C-alpha cells in the first residue's frame, strides 16, 4: 500500500481506500480486489501556503483600508432633491464604493446651507 498525504492506495490494484485513521495497526480493505492493506498514512497533514505562491495584481492592490481622495468627493453633481434641513430644491451629491464590490455604493449629499447626509445605495 502506498500513501500520499492522507490518501491511502491499495498496493495490488491502486484503488483509493477508505478514509485513513492514521493508526498503523488498522487494516483497510480494498473494495475492488478485497486485498488487506496496512494503514500507512500519517495522522495529521498540515499544509501552508504563502501569498507569494499565488502572485496576483489584484491581491497586491487589496487592502483592509480603502482610501477615498478628497478630489473624488469634490466632483459633485447637483440633483433635484430637497434638503432635509432648509428645504432647498437642489443639493450636490457624490458616490463612493466604500463597502464590498457586491454591495451598493454610498451616496453623499451636501446642501449649500452646509447640511450633509449620506445613504447606502
pLDDT in tens, 7-31: 778 888 888 887 766 666 778 888 8
Write out the residue range of the structural domain in which residue 115 sits: 70-120
**Global pTM?**
0.41
Tell me the average pLDDT across 81-95: 90
Domain count, the chain: 2
Q: Which three cell numbers stand for residue 17?
A: 481506500
What CATH number is given to the structural domain containing 107? 2.20.25.10
Q: Count of CB atoms within 10 A of residue 59's CB?
A: 10
32 is in an annotated binding site: no
Tell me the average pLDDT across 91-114: 87
Q: Which three cell numbers stand for residue 59?
A: 491581491
Q: Is residue 37 part of a domain?
A: yes
83 is in an annotated binding site: yes
Q: Is residue 76 part of a domain?
A: yes
Q: What angle do CA 46, 48, 54 make, to 5 degrees?
A: 150
pLDDT at 43 over 60: no
Whether residue 40 is found in the same domain as residue 78? no
Percent of the chain with pLDDT over 70: 69
What phi and psi, each to the nearest 5 degrees, are found at residue 94?
Answer: -140, 160
113 is in an annotated binding site: yes
Amino acid at each position: 500500500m502506498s500513501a500520499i498525504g492522507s490518501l491511502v492506495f491499495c498496493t495490488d490494484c491502486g484503488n483509493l481506500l477508505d478514509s485513513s485513521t492514521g493508526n498503523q495497526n488498522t487494516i483497510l480493505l480494498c473494495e475492488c480486489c478485497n486485498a488487506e492493506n496496512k494503514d500507512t498514512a500519517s495522522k495529521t497533514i498540515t499544509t501552508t501556503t504563502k501569498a507569494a505562491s499565488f502572485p496576483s495584481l489584484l491581491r497586491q492592490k487589496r487592502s483592509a483600508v480603502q482610501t477615498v481622495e478628497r478630489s473624488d468627493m469634490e466632483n459633485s453633481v447637483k440633483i433635484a432633491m430637497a434638503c432635509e434641513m432648509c428645504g432647498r430644491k437642489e443639493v450636490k451629491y457624490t458616490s463612493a464604493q466604500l463597502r464590498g464590490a457586491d454591495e451598493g455604493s454610498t451616496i453623499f449629499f451636501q446642501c449649500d446651507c452646509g447640511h450633509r447626509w449620506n445613504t447606502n445605495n
